[in-house]
Amino acid sequence: MVRMRDLIGGGGEGDPAKKPLPSRPDVRFPAASGGRAEAARPAAPAVGEDPGALFTELHVLMAELHDAVSRGASLPIGPLEAMVGRVIQALEHGSDLFWLANNPAPPGADYVASHLASAGVLAVRIGADLGYDRPQLVDLGVAAFLFDVGVWKLPAGLLAKADALTADEQALYHSHPRLSAEFIRRSDVQRDGLLEAVLEHHEREQGQGYPQGLPGSAIHPHAKILGLVDTYTRLTSPRPPQARLLPHEAIREIVRSKHESFPSALIKALLSEISVFPPRTLVRLNTGEVGRVVGVNRNHPLRPKVEILSDSKGNRLPAPKLVDLSEAPFLYITAPLQEAGA
């Protein structure tokens, strides 16, 4: 097997920038807990921090990260670790930040920066669902906000190309995990499993990933989470001009390939968080009524809370009627319609 040192080292043993890599920690997927891990909270932001403002700050930090990569400067690791702590705390107190991370990137935005911001939030949420404690969540969050920084080292024309990549171009694109890991190591960031998670986030369970073609048993658990949120986010917020999939459509695509790409524990964690019918999805009920999903029932992902907007004949109701489908056994969703406006 190719060693990680060989993949991200590149230079000779005399290169002072090539420090020994940390050994792989013994990290395993905890059993899904269905709840959030309890741990001491950092003394960073005040409880009740506005999720929209926090998400905006996160995008600003990702832009600063892009600038650091472009200049070859050191990573802003202190602000990054502080931001991870704030994201963890925000997700402990509500789902607004999580759903902001499910929105597509705004037109004209730095796609990689937006992608890392969203994927990072989703990764932390899934890690919490799996029962990760706070130190593990911080390690995971830092990796999640850094795993694609190597993409900024690739030619802009390669990323903007609409046609299929040639074999040489594909090989160049497949070098971005190594480029990411190289940059992180040069910045001398010391976090458990960071280099492994970043380098292996495109590895897949049956050995069909890259750059090493590792089997599932050899892939770092954090890398598997990063691979899942990377895939999900690229489906729900793709590069233009690709069409966006709604969350439930992205879930369906991922579930279809779960036996090849991702372990079932991660699929279940994603499903419990995303829901087949996430907030703002318009749905039709078996009664013919149309409503908008306003809340997710984690233990009943097919039975969310719905505001009924129109009756079975299409007449809009004078006021929305709230129904919790988990408490209404004779009502169920027959089909999603579209994503409602904000």
Question: What pLDDT digit, counting tens, does each position of 156-212 carry?
Answer: 888 887 788 899 999 999 999 999 999 999 888 888 899 999 999 999 998 999 999
Report whether the peptide linkage leading into residue 215 is cis, meaning its omega lies within 30 degrees of zero: no
Residues 315, 216 share a domain: no
Number of compact structural domains in the chain: 2
- Of 229, 245, 274, the last residue of a domain is 274
Model confidence pLDDT, tens digit, residues 224-246: 999 999 999 999 999 877 888 87
What pLDDT shows up at residue 264? 85
Model confidence pLDDT, tens digit, residues 18-73: 333 333 334 444 443 433 333 333 334 445 689 999 999 999 999 999 999 999 89
Phi first, then psi, for residue 322 (nearest 5°) are: -85, 130
Which structural domain, as residue segments, surrounds residue 77? 4-274
Among 253, 233, 235, smallest CA distance to 123 is for 233
Model confidence pLDDT, tens digit, residues 238-296: 987 788 887 778 888 888 875 568 888 898 888 877 767 878 889 999 999 999 999 88
Residue 336: pLDDT band with limits 50, 70, 90:
confident
pLDDT at 12 over 60: no
Q: How far apart are the first and last CA of the chain?
A: 49
Residues 89, 221 share a domain: yes
Residues 312, 256 share a domain: no
Residues 270, 290 share a domain: no
Residues 304, 233 share a domain: no
Residues 309, 193 share a domain: no
What percent of the chain shows pLDDT beyond 70? 83
The partner residues of 339 in beta bridges, in order of sequence, read: 281
Residues 65, 114 share a domain: yes
CATH number at residue 104: 1.10.3210.10
Are the beta carbons of 95 and 51 closer than 8 angstroms?
Answer: no
What pLDDT shows up at residue 33? 40
Residues 9, 145 share a domain: yes
Residues 304, 224 share a domain: no
pLDDT at 1 over 50: no
- Of 274, 295, 321, the last residue of a domain is 274
- Of 274, 289, 306, the last residue of a domain is 274
Residues 298, 264 share a domain: no
Close Cβ partners of 324 (under 8 Å, ≥ 6 residues apart): 295, 297, 303, 305, 306
**List of E strands, 85-216:** none
Residues 83, 53 share a domain: yes
Residues 166, 140 share a domain: yes
